[in-house]
């Protein structure tokens, strides 16, 4: 097996590393992370863990201890919902969330999904005005549902 890196892969690694550092430092200085309100919790009200649902179904989001507000709202005790569908990992902390998750920047508290039959996981994470997870992140339980034919 030849494990010697090619010139091209070394160059890509170096460039990627430099860009990563620049991006991280820009975020750290420009976008402070919003502290979580102590005791705040986010939850999926429906469906429940283990439920069987039709292909098209509605997910209801719950938040307690904080308020739901549209993205951009400058109030540290509010946030907006983000839904992770079939995601093994949570979004990175300390920077705006990309896609996935699905953003509900209008302050929505429910959505209708259409998923393929089979098992799926759902999880919510709250984001602040800049779509950045709070510190510590406010995350729901990850639930598993079964979508029927
Ligand atoms: Cu967002």
Strands (E), the chain: 41-46, 52-53, 56-64, 67-68, 78-85, 102-103, 110-114, 118-127, 143-147
- Going along the chain from its start, the domains and CATH numbers come out as 41-147 (2.60.40.10)
Locate 132 and state its tokens: 């950045």
Q: What is the pLDDT of residues 112-140, one digit of tens each?
A: 999 999 999 999 999 999 999 999 999 99
Expressed in percent and rounded to 5, the helix, strand and coil fractions of the chain are 15, 35, 50
Distance (angstroms) between ligand 1 centre and the Cα of 85 equals 15
How close are the terminal C-alpha atoms of the chain, in Å? 46
Q: Which residues contact 28 (CB under 8 A, 6 or more apart)?
A: 94
Question: Which residues are within 5 Å of ligand 1 (an ion), measured at CB?
Answer: 103, 105, 127, 131
pLDDT per residue as tens digits for the range 29-73: 468 899 999 999 999 999 999 999 999 999 999 999 999 999 999
CA of 14 to the centre of ligand 1 (A): 31
Question: 64 C-alpha vs ligand 1 centroid, how far in Å?
Answer: 18
Beta bridge partners of 123: 84
Q: What's the 28 CA to ligand 1 centre distance in angstroms?
A: 18
């Amino acid at each position: 097996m030849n494990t010697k890196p090619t010139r091209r892969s070394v160059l890509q690694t170096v460039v990627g590393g430099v860009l990563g550092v620049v991006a991280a430092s820009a975020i750290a200085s420009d976008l402070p992370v919003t502290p979580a309100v102590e005791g705040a919790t986010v939850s999926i009200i429906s469906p429940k863990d283990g439920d069987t649902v039709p292909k098209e179904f509605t997910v209801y989001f719950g938040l307690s201890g904080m308020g739901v507000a549209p993205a951009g709202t400058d109030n540290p005790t509010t946030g907006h919902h983000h839904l992770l569908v079939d995601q093994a990992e949570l979004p990175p902390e300390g920077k705006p969330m990309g896609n996935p998750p699905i953003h509900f920047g209008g302050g929505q508290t429910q959505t209708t999904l259409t998923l393929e039959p089979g098992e799926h996981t759902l999880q919510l994470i709250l984001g602040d005005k800049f779509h950045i997870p709070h510190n510590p992140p406010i995350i729901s339980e990850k639930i598993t549902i079964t979508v029927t034919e």
